[in-house]
Amino acid sequence: MKFFVDTADVAEIRSLVETGFIDGVTTNPSLIAQSGRRIEEAIAEICSLVSGPVSAEVTATDLNGMLKEGRYLAKIASNVVVKVPLTPEGLKACRALTQEGTLVNVTLCFSAAQAILAAKAGASFISPFIGRLDDVGETGMDLIHQIIQIYSNYPDFHTQVLAASIRSPLHVIEAARMGADVATIPPKILHQLYKHPLTDKGLLDFLDDWQKTGQQIIAI
């Protein structure tokens, strides 16, 4: 499973890249707004830090506007993935940009039917929003399972399932168990993946016992 970090905070991305766990980055208009930077500047810097895919989202809602913005974003760096919404116009833009050789991430997916359309439009990634489905009383992970099952039936579908709107480490674990290609994870949740109380307790016990020996592995 690939890990993308879901943020436009360049300092956070730089720190996480050092772990070696980060395979790409996803952004959206809200995250760019939080960064306080111009989108082209933020995306260019992120692309210089990460060799993998970096999603940059269009804000136009009409086909011509999406194509114009998508082509502009794609020119920022070779690893930019243009992100479009799962609307009729967005899927038309996906097909056109894909045919031009641009990678496309179709976002705001909330049903398996939508995911089928995205695959037929040639999407590189489909982004089902797990957490937002949970918020309205549905089970987001069921959608991940459905999409993976459907895509596996059709060798001509090359769209990667990118689990999005992740709210907890459990979402990451379940997406991995189901075989999602990618999880795009907020920095807070990425840091939580390290944590377990028994790890902390075990380390304290080991260090306490070691201190009692009076030894040093290497003299300071």
As annotated, the active-site residues are 83
Sign of CA dihedral 168, 14, 102, 35: positive
CA 188 to chain centroid, in Å, comes to: 14
Query: What ranges in 59-196 are assigned the alpha helix state H?
Result: 63-74, 88-99, 112-120, 130-135, 140-152, 169-178, 187-192
Residue 68 burial (CB count, 10 A): 14
Two tokens at 8?
A: 């436009």
Closest of 190, 209, 213 to residue 201, by C-alpha:
209
**Residue 147's closest CA among 109, 183, 186, 202?**
109
C-alpha 51 chain-centroid distance: 14
Tokens of 109: 């997916």
**In the chain, how long is the greatest CA-to-CA distance?**
72
